[in-house]
Amino acid sequence: MNVYYYVHTGHRIGLDRFRRACTIIRSLGDIEITLLCSDFRIANEAKHFGVKNSVGIDVIRNIPNIAHNGSKIIFDSEEANPIMLEDMRKYFSTFIRVSDNKDDKKEQNEFLISPYLDGVNICNAYAVDEKFYAEGASEKEKTIKLSYFFGDDDYEKDLEKNINMIDGLNPDLLLGFYYFFDYEDMLKEQFPTHHEFEDYDEVIMNSEVLITASPQAVLENLASGGRPIYIQRDDYTTDFLELFEELNIPIVKNYDKKCLSNAIKSIYEHKYSKMRQNSNKMVKFIKENLNL
């Protein structure tokens, strides 16, 4: 039986869902899963994230061109309307949906993974790779005092527009995946200490304080013993705010320089909540419901 994982990703929404998908696929071990991406460029790079099989399909409606009726799928996207979702629940023999919406609900003929919800056929969890929890990772001395990762996408060049927010902080910059070449060159001039996209894991794990607009990076940095500060972008979902409030993560809205400055000043007195290490729980849930 073929197993697929569809993830919505691209130059206007970033790689957070893609990074999460790769984390889940890697955690499932040797199970043959084909990753379906709504962007061809990142599909071609998936092997560098530990995913053997990946296909770019452009738009969600192309899923049936690859995945046949009766196949099984893990679905991570907010693109589909209720009618389309219901059609997919009928099309696939097993339909596992990943959701970040606290107001969501599990529908019939599906299984749900959510950081907010509990109940029958629901796994209350979030996906963070075990390497970020690795023994000694949180106690390891951090080599980067302060870093800034805006995200993998910046189509409107909002990092540049709001660069005054970090004036005087001099953070290391982690470059994103979907940056234009000329834009990336400009940023390298603005940030003498910068890291390439390929250094993502190293920067996230080795940053003592991480300023970021990437929800996945927040979770991974916190898991590895860092002190993340979350920048809520105007063009990003607010679904993670309640989770981050539960984890007591400082949140900066509207690129508020004063708010960010205050968060940094008090960062070493700030008490973060302990994260749940629940990847094994998620793996068990997925395998059981895929009958693997």
pLDDT in tens, 129-159: 999 987 666 567 899 999 999 999 999 999 9
* CA R_g for the chain: 19
Q: Pairing between strand 172-174 and 111-114?
A: unpaired
Q: Which helix (H) or strand (E) holds 144?
A: strand 144-149
What 8-state DSSP symbol labels residue 167?
Answer: T
Q: What is the pLDDT of residues 234-255, one digit of tens each?
A: 999 999 999 999 999 999 999 9
Calculate what percentage of the chain has a pLDDT beyond 90: 90
Provide the pLDDT for residue 139.
63
Determine how many CB atoms are found less than 10 A away from the CB of residue 234. 10
Q: What is the pLDDT of residues 17-44, one digit of tens each?
A: 999 999 999 999 988 999 999 999 999 9
As a whole number, the mean pLDDT across the chain is: 94
Provide the pLDDT for residue 58.
87
Largest CA distance in the chain: 57
Provide the pLDDT for residue 176.
95
Q: Give the 3-state secondary structure percentages of the chain, helix then strand then coil, rounded to 5.
A: 35, 20, 45
Provide the pLDDT for residue 137.
61
Q: What is the pLDDT of residues 107-117, one digit of tens each?
A: 999 999 999 99
What pTM was computed for the model? 0.95
Q: Looking at the domain 132-265, which fold is it?
A: Rossmann fold (3.40.50)
* Strand order from edge to edge, sheet including 53-56: 53-56, 33-37, 3-7, 72-76, 94-98, 111-114, 122-124
Determine how many CB atoms are found less than 10 A away from the CB of residue 47. 11
- Among 136-150, 224-238, 270-284, the minimum mean pLDDT is found in 136-150
Domain 3-127+279-289 in CATH 1.25.40? The answer is no
Provide the pLDDT for residue 162.
96
Q: What is the pLDDT of residues 165-219, one digit of tens each?
A: 999 999 999 999 999 888 999 999 999 899 999 999 999 999 999 999 999 999 9
Provide the pLDDT for residue 279.
85
Mean pLDDT for the stretch of residues 68-75? 96
* Strand order from edge to edge, sheet including 172-174: 194-195, 172-174, 144-149, 207-212, 227-232, 251-253
